[in-house]
Amino acid sequence: MRIVSGIQPTGSLHLGNYLGAIRQWVRMQDALQPGQQALFFIADLHAITVFQEPASLRQATREIAAAMMAAGIDPARAILFNQSQVPEHAELAWVLECIARIGWLNRMTQFKEKSGKDREGASVGLFAYPVLQAADVLLYKATHVPVGDDQKQHLELARDIATKFNTDYGVELFPLPEPLIAAAAPRVRSLRDGAAKMSKSDPSDMSRINLTDTADDIRQKIRKARTDPEPIPQDVKGLEGRPEARNLVEIYATLQDRPVASVLQDYAGQGFGQFKPALAEVIVAALEPINARFRDLLAHPQAIDAALANGAAQARALARETLAEVHAAVGFLK
Ligand code: TYM
């Protein structure tokens, strides 16, 4: 078992990243058996598919590393690094770009969303982004990739690329990576719009809970979160067609590791005026310790850089082995 996953440094970490991905990463890391490995990286190569101010990118990379460690990723047990320090990611991506078909990439919904109406004006990197993502996991022969639901399509593409590479070259080089989608929080929604996912790129900070928000920020954001005038229903069926209400109840249930139905039993018949303060306190209780550790870690940026450099060296050792096999399979001279 080899677990691999990544996150983009394009803003601060939010509750969607935490519940959809990082909390699973920490749990999987904590459950690792001898011989199993986990690699978690900050996808800075992916971030520049859309222009990033260099100083902001550097800062965001350190902040995400600190937030990951604060949330429980332990560089002594998992390999934690930033992608650009392992040039093999970009090198394998090139080979895989020669495997992936333009038609496959044309179907990627994230590219359509991110490029919007100006498809011709998007970077080539944004179009090729899912191939780099395939390289990220295939480079380490990942068997399991814990991600939120929004990354499922990219992971399916990675499997298609792996299959075509193995078939074209007549090898069994890449195992097919299995996406692991958090059952409890597959997609945390925006606090302002139940139709949109909670996202780093939403211009409204009120739409998300950042892992670095203060307790007062959290209380205010939950107080102002959009809901409907109906009370909390008796059962899960009663949440149908009520995406904002469902989102808040799901966040509560997931943070407490309880089924949604059991939370509904506690609050059935009450209005959101009563539920929201309780939810805010559940979030504050979960994030406050992370927040405190985050601030301590961020006070020592050299230590963060050193941890990332150390992780990159470990990742490179694994990456070089796969890349040597790829070179041999493709027919590159040694
Ligand atoms: P990114 O940076 O957008 O998000 C990081 C992780 O958080 C999950 N996530 C969510 N889960 C539930 N609800 C939400 N609202 C929510 N928002 C984000 C994402 O699914 C993801 O697991 N392309 C990836 C980064 C990446 C990657 C990889 C992931 C690059 N290479 C290789 C896995 C394997 C991305 O942009 O994630």
The size of the chain, in residues, is: 334
Nearest CA to ligand 1 atom 7: 17
Domains recognised in the chain with CATH numbers: 2-181+300-330 (3.40.50.620), 205-296 (1.10.240.10)
22-57: b (≥16 Cβ within 10 Å) or e: bbbbbebbeeeeeeebbbbbbbbbbbbbbebeeeeb
**Atom number, ligand 1, closest to the C-alpha of residue 4:** 34
Map 3-32 to HEC letters.
EEEEECCCCCCEHHHHHHHHHHHHHHHHCC
Query: What is the distance in A from the centroid of ligand 1 to the CA of 320?
Result: 25
Residue 46 Cβ inside 6 Å of ligand 1? The answer reads yes
* Top mutation candidate among 17, 127, 178 for ligand 1, by most atoms within 8 Å of CB: 17
* Percent of the chain topping pLDDT 90: 93
Query: What is the distance in A from the centroid of ligand 1 to the CA of 162?
Result: 20
Q: Report if pTM > 0.85.
A: yes
Active site residue 114: yes
Active site residue 164: no
Active site residue 200: yes
What's the CA gap between 166 and 163, in Å, rounded? Answer: 5
Radius of gyration of the chain (CA): 21
pLDDT tens for 1-21 read 999 999 999 988 899 999 999
Which parts of the chain have pLDDT scores under 50?
A: none
pLDDT at 12: 82
